[in-house]
A and B are shown apart, each in its own frame.
Chain A
Amino acid sequence: MSELLLDPGLVVALLINFYILTVTRLKQVVYGVALQGVLLGLLYPVAHAGFLPRGEPHSLETVTTLRLIGLTVAIVVIKGWIIPRFLMKAMRIADVRSRLTSTVGIVPPLLMGGFGTAAAIVFSRSLPLAGGHASHLLIPSALATVVCGFLMLSTRREALGQVLGYIVLENGIFIFGLLLVEAVPIMVELGIVLDLFVGVFVMGIIFNHVSRAFPEASIEHLSSLKE
Chain B
Amino acid sequence: MTALLLILTPLIAAGLALAVPSNRWRPWVVPAGAACHAALTLTVVSGLLSPENAGWLRIDAQSRYFLTFISLYFLILASYVPGYLGNNGHRSNRVLCACLLASLSSMTAVIVAHHLGLMWIAVEATTLATAPCVYFEHNPRALEATWKYLVICSVGIALALLGTFCLAYASLHSGLHSLMFEDLMANATELSAPWLRVAFVFVLVGYGTKMGLAPMHTWLPDAHGESPAVVSALLSGALLNCAFLGILRVYLIICAAGQAAAIQPLLIFIGLLSMTVAAVSICRQRDIKRLVAYSSVEHMGMLAFGLGVGGIGVTASLLHVIHNGLCKGVLFLSAGNIYHAYGTRETERLQGVLRRVPVSGACFVAGFFAITGAPGFGPFVSEIMMLGGAFASGRFIAGCLFIALLFLVFVGMGHTVIGFALGTAPVAAGTDPMPVREHLCQTLPVLVALALVMLLGFYTPSFLSDYIHDAVAMAPFAGVDGRP
Contacts and interface: CB of A to CB of B under 8 A. Distances in A.
A23 interface: no
Given A206-B146, A225-B145, A227-B284, A213 B161 contact: no
B165 A173 contact: yes
A106 B146 CA distance: 28
Contacts of A227: 281, 284-285
B147 A169 contact: no
Interface string A137-170: 0000010001000100100000100110010011
Contact of B168 (A142, A153, A183, A195): A183
Interface string A193-216: 001101100110010011001100
A179 B169 CA distance: 8
Contacts of B339: none
B177 interface: yes
Contacts of A112: none
Nearest first, the 5 closest Cβ-Cβ pairs linking A and B are A188-B117, A222-B144, A191-B121, A183-B168, A225-B222
A159 B194 CA distance: 37
B155 A177 contact: no
B172 interface: yes
A144 to B, nearest CB: 13
Interface of A: 126-128, 130, 142, 146, 150, 153, 159, 162-163, 166, 169-170, 172-173, 176-177, 179-180, 182-185, 188-189, 191-192, 195-196, 198-199, 202-203, 206, 209-210, 213-214, 219, 222-225, 227
B148 interface: yes
Contacts, number: 124
Contacts of A142: 162
Contacts of A203: 150-151, 154
Which of B127, B168, B178 gathers the greatest number of chain A CB atoms within 10 Å?
A: B168
B195 A127 contact: yes
Contact of A166 (B131, B158, B166, B194): B158
B120 interface: yes
Given A169-B158, A225-B226, A180 B147 contact: no
B402 to A, nearest CB: 24
B106 to A, nearest CB: 11
Contacts of A179: 165, 169, 172
A20 to B, nearest CB: 16
Contact of A126 (B143, B148, B194): B194
B125 interface: yes
A225 B154 CA distance: 20
Contacts of A206: 131, 135, 143, 146-147, 150
Contact of B140 (A130, A150, A176, A224): A224
Given A130-B173, A182-B177, A177 B165 contact: yes
A163 B52 CA distance: 41
Contacts of B128: 195, 198-199, 202
A183 B192 CA distance: 15
B177 A183 contact: yes
Given A188-B118, A199-B124, 14 more contacts: A128-B173, A128-B194, A130-B169, A159-B147, A166-B158, A169-B155, A173-B165, A180-B168, A191-B117, A206-B131, A209-B143, A210-B147, A222-B147, A224-B144
Contacts of B178: 183
Nearest to B132: A202
Which of B128, B151, B159 gathers the greatest number of chain A CB atoms within 10 Å?
A: B151
A173 B194 contact: no
A169 B206 CA distance: 13
Contact of B148 (A196, A198, A222): A222
B179 interface: yes
A142 B165 CA distance: 11
B26 to A, nearest CB: 21
Contacts of A163: 151
Interface in B384-439: none
B144 A195 contact: no
A202 B158 CA distance: 16
A223 B140 CA distance: 10
B141 A225 contact: yes
Nearest to A143: B162
B340 interface: no
Nearest to A142: B162
B284 to A, nearest CB: 7
Nearest to B164: A184
Contacts of B127: 199
A222 to B, nearest CB: 4
Contacts of A128: 173, 192, 194-195
A225 B225 contact: yes
Contacts of A183: 168-169, 171-172, 176-179
Nearest to B176: A183
B169 A180 contact: yes
Given A128-B173, A191-B121, A202 B161 contact: no
B305 to A, nearest CB: 23
A173 B192 contact: no
A184 B117 contact: yes
Contacts of A177: 165
B177 A166 contact: no
A176 B167 CA distance: 12
Contacts of B161: 173, 192
B131 A176 contact: no
B221 to A, nearest CB: 8
Interface in B153-209: 154-155, 158-159, 161-162, 165-166, 168-169, 171-173, 176-179, 192, 194-195, 198
Contacts of B194: 126-128
